[in-house]
Structure 1
Amino acid sequence: MKKIKKYIILLIISVQFVLFNSDVVYSQQYSEYEVKAGYLYNFIKFVNWPNYSFDNEYAPFVIGIYGDDPFDDILENAFKDRTLYDRKWLLIHYNTLEEINDCNLLFISGVNRTELLKVLDVVKEKSILTIGDNVEDFCELGGIINFTKQNSKNRFEINNEAAMNVKLVISSKLLSLAKIINKNENRF
């Protein structure tokens, strides 16, 4: 019964991805990062941020990318004309640690372990949903969600303890689909 429930929720998330991006519907094949863009959109819908995460009611929902940007224009096209929590959204590419400030979601890709530790240290007390792109030990080191590959399929793991530490609340529906990593080891 529990497996059936997981598959139903995964199916709902997948259908929502297809419906929210009509350009992708007409193509016969989805790229890995078109699928991941859909996951990001749905992760956002299944996570609650504290009110103080936004300067005011009109502040945009800020998605930051640090490291490699494997999406090219996929995120811009997928989120075009969409709102996130009734807010416009803004995509920012960060090139240095000093630039990382008040984003709501930070996608981290193509960084080495030393740099990852520095990034996680910069955001450790901020209500930022950190998402790794198949980054080794991402959740064990304090990241919140990490894309992984299992039998050539995209999967994800979640460190719910790290999310709670920064006052992010992840829906039990999303948690039920993930491999849970509740380790927030000393990173130094």
Structure 2
Amino acid sequence: MLLVEWHLPRLAAAQAPVQEARSKVEAAFLRNFARYVSWPPQAFEGDRSPWTVCVLGEDPFGDALPEVLRGRVEQGRPFEIRRADALESLPACHILFVSIANAAQRRSVLRRVKDMPVLTVGNASEFLAEGGVIRLQPGERMEMSVNLDQARSASLGIPTKLLEVSRDVVENGVLRRLR
């Protein structure tokens, strides 16, 4: 038992840099979505209104998201980050990272933003089936899958470049495995 207790803190310390690197990669994906995905003009208050990146639920990013977005501008817009445990506590979001473990709560949030110009992103295995737009899948390398039907419902344009590097794409209700 003592041997296990002695190794656990070392194991946790060894995993911390891996989690931090993963968080930075996920944050970079969120930043790049602002570059490649297109939103309808009415999604923004003005021509230079910021991108609002929201994290709903338990924040998996820590300092990685502000670090990756600090000083960045995409399409002439700076970034703002908002975090909350409830959707009602957030302003209008352009990119919404849904980090809610409870599937029923996650589905409820996704239903409420379904037809809004909000790019929903998450890691849950059922995220696309639940109505999310992009699922990030960490592993040896970060992969993503896209629910093109939901993107269209939200009036978001997903370019071919993103679809070509996606693992799976849902289109017309059919899941196609690309990689």
Question: Could you tell me the TM-score, scaled by structure 1's length?
Answer: 0.76
2:112 is equivalent to residue 137 of structure 1: no
Structure 2 counterpart of 1:176, which letter? Answer: E
Over 3 Å counting, the alpha-carbon distance change for 1:161 and 1:58 in structure 2 is: same
Within a 5 Å distance, the mapping from 1:121-160 to structure 2 comes to: 121-132=111-122, 134-149=123-138, 152-160=140-148
Q: Quick one: distance in 1 between partners of 2:114 and 2:91?
A: 12
Cα drift, residue 183 of structure 1: 6.3
Identity of aligned residues (%): 29
Residue by residue over 1:94-116, the C-alpha shift from the partner in whole angstroms, topping out at 9 and shown as x without a partner, is 22132244110000114211111
Aligned CA RMSD, in angstroms, stands at 2.1
- Please identify, of 35-44 and 164-173, the stretch whose mean Cα deviation from structure 2 is larger: 35-44
Structure 1 spans left out of the alignment, 5+ residues: 1-29
**2:37 aligned to which of 47, 50, 58:** 47
Checking the alignment, whether the CA contact within 8 Å between 1:47 and 1:171 is kept in structure 2 is: yes
Cα drift, residue 44 of structure 1: 1.9
Q: Quick one: distance in 1 between partners of 2:149 and 2:41?
A: 20
Within a 5 Å distance, the mapping from 1:100-139 to structure 2 comes to: 100-132=90-122, 134-139=123-128
**1:176 aligned to which of 147, 164, 168:** 164
1:89 corresponds to: 79
Checking the alignment, whether the CA contact within 8 Å between 2:133 and 2:150 is kept in structure 1 is: yes
Structure 2 spans left out of the alignment, 5+ residues: 1-19, 175-179
Q: Quick one: distance in 2 between partners of 1:149 and 1:92?
A: 23
**2:25 aligned to which of 32, 35, 42:** 35
Q: Quick one: distance in 1 between partners of 2:145 and 2:89?
A: 27
2:3 corresponds to: none
3-state SS in 1 of match to 2:101? coil
Q: Quick one: distance in 1 between partners of 2:128 and 2:30?
A: 16
Q: Quick one: distance in 2 between partners of 1:96 and 1:184?
A: 29
Runs of 4+ in 1 over 4 A off after TM superposition: none
**2:149 aligned to which of 161, 165, 176:** 161
2:10 corresponds to: none
Question: Could you tell me the TM-score, scaled by structure 2's length?
Answer: 0.80
Q: Quick one: distance in 2 between partners of 1:125 and 1:54?
A: 16
Cα drift, residue 118 of structure 1: 1.1
